[in-house]
Structure 1
Amino acid sequence: MSVGMSPKMDLETALKGCSTALGFFLNNRFADALALLKPWRNQSMYHAMGYSSILLMQAGMTFDPHDIDAAMASLRESLQTCQRFQQCHKPLKSDLDGRLKEMHAELCYAEVLLQKAFLTFLDESIIGFIKGGMKIRNSYQIYKDCQALANVTKDTEKQKSTHIHFRGGVNMGIGSFNLMLSLLPSRVLRLMEFLGFSGDREVGLSELREGAASNSLRSILSTLTLLIYGTHFLPSGTGEGNLTEAEALLEPYKEKFPNGALILFYTARIALLKGNITFAQEKFLACIAAQEEWRQIHHLCSWELMWAYSFELNWREAYRYADILCKESKWSQAVYVFQKAAILSMLPEEEVTELGEDVVELFRQVDGLRLRIAGKSIPTEKFAAKKAQRYSSSNPVKLAVPALEMLYVWNGFTVVGKRPDLTESILTILEKAEEQLRDDPDPSEYHVDDQCVVQLLKGLCLRQLGRLVQAESCFNHVISRCGHLNTLIVLNIFLDIIVYMAFRSINGKYKIDSKI
């Protein structure tokens, strides 16, 4: 008999067993969690969903065809298991236990269908993209039906211990849909709303917060969704992220799972965003040391450590983690190789030679490593390939400050700005690059591009240091040359400049050419 399970597989027993498996998972006992769930996956909708969810995460981390096939097969079986308990649009059963099972089956079916949709997107074709979209729409509609059921649930049903898990699942599903859709561009969001979706950010956050506080089986999923939003999406551009809320959400899990890899990762991530770089590095390393079973979690930490050491201008250590990603991770080889080359570009040539690396050759590899999803390029990979293009000729033209430019692209200046000492060090590098460009006797076709990159980054540093008049001069330089830019992300430039102008309360002074 499996750990934590009794011979009778009723709904309450299934939920308790899955809670035990969740505890195993959060304590890095991934194989134990799978072993507990596997024997019951054809008899319990929750065991089926939990088992396939773990396989899905594994497939998403490895991109290994075998793992993807295993996850897809498990998801199909999970849908079949859920369907056996569904009421299939007939009137709900009159007996309480039967009615509750049907409600939970609908909820689990929606969740598994959504997972299957995401896995379908890994099929890099337009057909896979369309199929995934249809599954997402069906999943969303079922979540809406479940929300309606939750709102009309009778008092006798609410008194059952299983109701909190149903309500928590609805919170997680409706909240995640609203939050994710609200992040889409307004034009796309209007189309999605026309198709019946809802993208209300405040509704999404409210539902997720309720779910995170519910002490249900899916509370951790609502919590993780809020953590991802608060530490990966909000800090982008000029936002700071609600780190206070993120810390509060994480606190109970830190007490219960102090060595859990996911908990350590987000402890480190929050510290990094607050500018506590040394502490963040320690926690990322602790996360790596916490488990060996899922090495892909190591890759998440390696990505963060690469940036943490880049913030400190410790290029040798940053290179070390970029090299690990290039050798071990399959997520985005184009970005990894570009980042590795960019970091090496910041080192003296003798050090690069000592490491046995060829920067030009690395940049030349980038374009051939790009992935395509539904026939479309990934924007960050497209940007990296465009930047690396100048190395493709027989006389390559070096990028001015590639690692610092990527620091900007990945919103690293939000973190660096919290450390005046690091900001000053970066400013010194930029002033040296500015001087070299100014004194260049034979400017290349990329000269204006490079000058604008340096001036933009210099302006950001000066703004963070409170030297606003000088920052304004740098931004004016970029504005005056923006019509000549080749590859810089012009919209991001103007976002930073507009925010700066708002900060300075300068109204009407700048007029941006409509041709840009």
Structure 2
Amino acid sequence: FSRYSRGTWTLCETVLLLTLHPLPTPERAAKPQISAFAFFCCVHVFTHVLCGSSSQMTLKECLDECMEALDLFLNNHFTESLERLRPRVNESMYHALIYATVLEMQAMMTFQPDDISNAGNTMKSAQEVCQRSGSHETVAPPPLPRLHLYLQLHAEVCYAECQLQRAALTFLQDENMVSFIKGGIKVRNSYLIYKELHSLIKSPNCLKGPSHIHLEGGISFGIGAFNLTLSLFPPRILKVLEFAGFSGDKEYGLSLLDEGATGLNLRSMLCALLLLCYYTFLTFILGTGEGDVAEAERLLKPFRLRYPRGAIFLFFAGRTEEIKGNIDEVCFIKCAQQAWKQFHHMCYWELMWCFTYKRAWKMAYFYADLLSQESLWSKAMYVYMKAAYLSMLPKDEARPFGEDEVELFRKVPTFKQKIAGKSPPTEKFAIRKARRYKAPSPIKLPVPVLEMMYMWNGFSMISKRPELTEGMMQTLTEAERTLLESPANEYSADDRCLIHLLKGLCLKNQGLLQAAEECFNKVFSSEKKIRFDHYLVPNSLVELSLLFIDQGRRDEAIKLLHKAK
């Protein structure tokens, strides 16, 4: 009988008492009798209880239904997925967690304050459901039946996941330091629970129930996510975090996430998405543009077979092809046709860059314009890119929608925002570059699109397509000629160095290593002439060091990296 809730037994007890002792009335005060309706209720309830037809679902039934809802979600049936989960969000920890996770994904893509607040409240409710399902204070085995202990472990991992996701929402929702500290405490609590659970399931005496694969998947996701994410922090910060009890082992994190992604469990999709983000985005944004395409394709293959039209996996398939040099918009266009509008914005961003690589400035402007109107993630960046694309068009060519790039550049600072108390670095950069247009007679930026493309490591994306690199070289040559023909001004030295840096990248892609080295050295030798864009000198040293590493000149590369630092 332990599978039935206290509420079920209370109801049965109430009906039984009503049956044996009906409420007294003046007519029958002296002679109690059985109520026919109460007797019927008693028989009905006891039949359901004794025959196992309780409204409460077993753990396996809950997990099976959640897997079905997840399948609907990955097949683009987003509304149906939520409807499948909604009826049991107040009684099943897994229904509550998956429902809140879907809402959080939506909130992170829309970036709407109302969506973030709603997701936070839903995740808090999910956490309360997990608390009712099992104590989160300790995972030490209490004197409980084995089934209760096993349910407690599942409740623990769900609780830790709720804590982690609530922390992410806290960072997005509030900008003040108090909220940042609260989010940090949630992160630490989540990590400690995952760490204790991981030790427990690796012990020889660990319980292994019929749904153990889902439990292991949840713990692999948590420990793997922490290790991979923390490994991306600068070494000095990582040492402090390790002193506080965290660990940031990248290889260990990747192995755990891979283990979770390849198993058929409830968190396999989350593990796969985190790995795909790492292989196709983080290695480009935080690294040198050497994404692991083979690993990304291996992870994608089973999901593409299972969800051939799934928007999420279509998006990553497009990104993988983009990294390989196949600058084709087909996957992103298919992805943008799906029902959940927020997926469109991710596709618009990639489509914008695909047309940038092809130098189709007006088409790229079109997608930047769509983002500026529909997405709240980084309006400063979207408006800057709109202005940048317009500035690449000839003076006498008509501007789409009659917009003026000078006015757009001047609006960029008004869209500045903060995430987790900090302004995104790319927004800061865009605002800094747009300052040139504050003057009554502004001096035009030479190649703002190509400069921002460099910031997002776009020159690595076109390295496998010689014709695209050749097109960029033509644009840079024209800009250099225009610069030489124009009268000197306070930005002249900065603009010349920028063009040298970008030409060096193109020459490197073309295999002209000596010419590329000369371009990077020209920037370094002009250090004292640069007045505004001081980032050009350390970046040129980094690019030169990467060039030396490719040539096997490691000692020279290390010296340059120290100098850049």
**Which range, TM-score by smaller chain?**
over 0.9
Counterpart selection for 2:272 from 209, 217, 223: 223
Counterpart selection for 1:353 from 362, 379, 399: 399
Q: Which whole-Å CA distance do the structure 2 matches of 1:267 and 1:374 have between them?
A: 30
Q: 1:484 to 1:376 in 2, by over 3 A?
A: farther
Aligned match of 1:235 = 284
- Asked if 1:152 is matched to 2:203, the reply is yes
Q: Give 1:28's aligned amino acid.
A: N
Structure having the higher Rg: 2
Q: Which whole-Å CA distance do the structure 1 matches of 2:311 and 2:73 have between them?
A: 9
Counterpart selection for 1:459 from 464, 483, 504: 504
How far has the Cα of 1:312 moved from its partner? 0.6
Q: Which whole-Å CA distance do the structure 2 matches of 1:509 and 1:250 have between them?
A: 39
- Asked if 1:473 is matched to 2:510, the reply is no
How far has the Cα of 1:277 moved from its partner? 0.9
Q: Give 2:316's aligned amino acid.
A: Y
Aligned match of 2:540 = 493
CA contact (8 A) 2:89 2:99 kept: yes
CA contact (8 A) 2:545 2:556 kept: no
Q: Which whole-Å CA distance do the structure 1 matches of 2:478 and 2:183 have between them?
A: 50
Aligned match of 1:262 = 312
- Asked if 1:102 is matched to 2:149, the reply is no
Q: Which whole-Å CA distance do the structure 1 matches of 2:539 and 2:64 have between them?
A: 48
SS in structure 1 opposite 2:457? coil
For structure 2, the residue ranges without an aligned partner over 5 or more in a row are 1-52
How far has the Cα of 1:503 moved from its partner? 2.0
SS in structure 1 opposite 2:190? helix
CA contact (8 A) 2:447 2:479 kept: yes
CA contact (8 A) 1:21 1:33 kept: yes
CA contact (8 A) 1:72 1:116 kept: yes
How far has the Cα of 1:239 moved from its partner? 3.3
How far has the Cα of 1:508 moved from its partner? 6.6
Counterpart selection for 2:87 from 30, 39, 50: 39
Q: Deviations over 1:182-212 (max 9, x none)?
A: 0111111112112111111011011111111
Aligned match of 1:416 = 462
Q: 1:342 to 1:142 in 2, by over 3 A?
A: same
Aligned match of 1:247 = 297
Q: Give 2:476's aligned amino acid.
A: L
CA contact (8 A) 2:141 2:149 kept: no
SS in structure 1 opposite 2:336? helix
Q: Give 1:126's aligned amino acid.
A: M
Aligned match of 1:77 = 125
Aligned match of 1:273 = 323
Counterpart selection for 1:316 from 352, 357, 362: 362
TM-score, with length taken from structure 2: 0.86
5 Å-filtered alignment, 1:30-179, equals: 30-87=78-135, 88-89=137-138, 91-122=141-172, 123-152=174-203, 154=205, 157-158=207-208, 160-179=209-228
TM-score, with length taken from structure 1: 0.94
Q: Give 1:127's aligned amino acid.
A: V
Q: Give 2:85's aligned amino acid.
A: L
- Larger RCO (alpha carbons 8 Å, 6+ apart): 1
Q: Which whole-Å CA distance do the structure 2 matches of 1:143 and 1:106 have between them?
A: 8
Q: Which whole-Å CA distance do the structure 2 matches of 1:21 and 1:508 have between them?
A: 55
CA contact (8 A) 1:401 1:433 kept: yes
CA contact (8 A) 2:171 2:421 kept: no
Q: Which whole-Å CA distance do the structure 2 matches of 1:58 and 1:506 have between them?
A: 48
For structure 1, the residue ranges without an aligned partner over 5 or more in a row are none
How far has the Cα of 1:497 moved from its partner? 1.5
Runs of 4+ in 1 over 6 A off after TM superposition: 507-511
Q: Which whole-Å CA distance do the structure 2 matches of 1:63 and 1:509 have between them?
A: 45
Q: Which whole-Å CA distance do the structure 2 matches of 1:468 and 1:180 have between them?
A: 35
Aligned match of 1:25 = 73
Q: Which whole-Å CA distance do the structure 2 matches of 1:439 and 1:225 have between them?
A: 49
CA contact (8 A) 2:542 2:564 kept: no
Q: Deviations over 1:295-333 (max 9, x none)?
A: 111000000000000001111111110110011100000
Q: 1:488 to 1:31 in 2, by over 3 A?
A: farther
How far has the Cα of 1:506 moved from its partner? 4.2
- Asked if 1:327 is matched to 2:373, the reply is yes
Q: Deviations over 1:248-304 (max 9, x none)?
A: 1011111111111001101111011111112xx001000111x22x21110000000
Aligned match of 1:305 = 351
Aligned match of 2:441 = 395
Q: Which whole-Å CA distance do the structure 2 matches of 1:45 and 1:190 have between them?
A: 35
CA contact (8 A) 1:265 1:287 kept: yes
Q: Which whole-Å CA distance do the structure 1 matches of 2:220 and 2:82 have between them?
A: 25
SS in structure 2 opposite 1:258? coil
Q: Give 1:128's aligned amino acid.
A: S
Q: Give 1:276's aligned amino acid.
A: N
Q: Deviations over 1:100-155 (max 9, x none)?
A: 11001000000011000000012122222111111111111111011012112636
Q: Give 1:146's aligned amino acid.
A: L
Counterpart selection for 1:425 from 452, 467, 471: 471
CA contact (8 A) 1:310 1:318 kept: yes
- Count matched residues: 505
Q: Which whole-Å CA distance do the structure 2 matches of 1:32 and 1:6 have between them?
A: 25
Q: Deviations over 1:423-473 (max 9, x none)?
A: 011101111212222233x22211111111100000110011011121111
SS in structure 2 opposite 1:39? helix
Q: 1:415 to 1:120 in 2, by over 3 A?
A: same
